[in-house]
């Protein structure tokens, strides 16, 4: 595991590729496959990865998609544990479904209450 520290006002779009290149040198890696969450999912970051020849997997949320893509996704028959692929105008989407955590579903902040509900529902 490695990390680099930058000034707080430095955008990841300016550090993204230099950090990857630094890790490649430091850990003697060929081009790693980049896996990141939605925080790094900007078109500028995607363009930089493509320009430098990186393969990537980026987590994305449905709410961030266009209405047309949302409609196509919601029209699919997606079952938990069975990913579905959808061709996006400029990338391939692999769509999965996870049933919501009950603590999130009910907006509970107290884990004890959530666990009690889970136990009651299962019994």
User: pLDDT tens digits for 30-87?
Assistant: 998 988 887 777 888 888 999 999 998 888 877 778 888 888 888 888 888 889 888 8
Please check whether residues 119 and 96 belong to one and the same domain.
Answer: yes
Cα 89 to its chain centre, rounded Å, is 18
Last residue of one domain, picked from the residues 42, 59, 76: 59
pTM of the full structure: 0.64
Domain that holds residue 103: 64-123
- Residues linked to residue 35 through DSSP beta bridges, in sequence order: 57
Same domain, 113 and 88: yes
Domain check: are 14 and 52 in the same one? yes
At residue 118, the pLDDT reads 54
Same domain, 92 and 121: yes
Confidence category of residue 122, pLDDT binned at 50, 70, 90 = low
Let me know whether 38 and 75 are in one domain: no
Q: Which pLDDT belongs to residue 101?
A: 63
Q: How many domains does the chain have?
A: 2
Confirm if 47 and 18 have CB atoms less than 8 A apart: no
Q: Are residues 55 and 70 in the same domain?
A: no
């Amino acid at each position: 595991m490695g990390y680099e520290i930058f000034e707080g006002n430095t955008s990841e779009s300016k550090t993204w590729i230099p950090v990857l290149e630094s890790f490649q040198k430091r850990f003697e890696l060929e081009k790693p496959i980049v896996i990141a969450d939605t925080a790094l999912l900007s078109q500028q970051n995607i363009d930089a990865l493509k320009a430098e020849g990186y393969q990537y997997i980026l987590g994305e949320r449905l709410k961030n998609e266009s209405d047309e893509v949302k409609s196509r996704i919601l029209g699919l028959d997606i079952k938990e544990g069975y990913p579905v692929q959808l061709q996006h105008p400029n990338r391939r989407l692999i769509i999965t479904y996870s049933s919501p955590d009950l603590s999130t579903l009910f907006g509970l902040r107290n884990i004890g209450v959530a666990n009690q509900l889970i136990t009651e529902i299962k019994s």
